[in-house]
Amino acid sequence: MSTLSTHILDISTGRPAQGVKVTLEREGAQIAAGVTDENGRIGELGAGQLAAGRYRLTAATGEWFAAGGRETIFLSAQIDFAIRETAGDRYHLPFLIAPGGWSTYRGS
């Protein structure tokens, strides 16, 4: 089984994005959810029990920007990814967000 964590940074302000709702789905069914802490992090999603398969990690960025009185055209940011057969891998998938765009990468 593998583990998953995430981190959301607002690169337009250079600050962590605290309070962003994040969901994790497998094959269209939600299997975990969380909210980023004061450092913009969620340390573990899926309780460390992620088997091989296809997943979607979604951050409700539009809702978060709106709560701060900021506009964005992106209602959410999502990462579709696959966990391979290798057991015990650690997946850290951060979001770098701004009102005009977002990106991701596989962190460590």
Triad 61, 32, 98: Cα angle to 5°:
15
Q: What are 47-105's pLDDT values in tens digits? A: 767 888 999 999 999 999 999 999 999 999 999 999 887 667 889 999 999 999 999 99
Question: Would you list the domain boundaries of the chain?
Answer: 2-95
CB atoms within 10 A of CB 38: 8
Q: Is the pLDDT of residue 46 over 90?
A: no
Tell me, yes or no, if the pTM score tops 0.75.
Answer: yes
C-alpha–C-alpha distance, residues 82 and 54, integer Å: 4
The correct answer on CATH 2.60.40.180 for the domain covering 2-95 is: yes
Specify the DSSP element, H or E, that contains 99: none
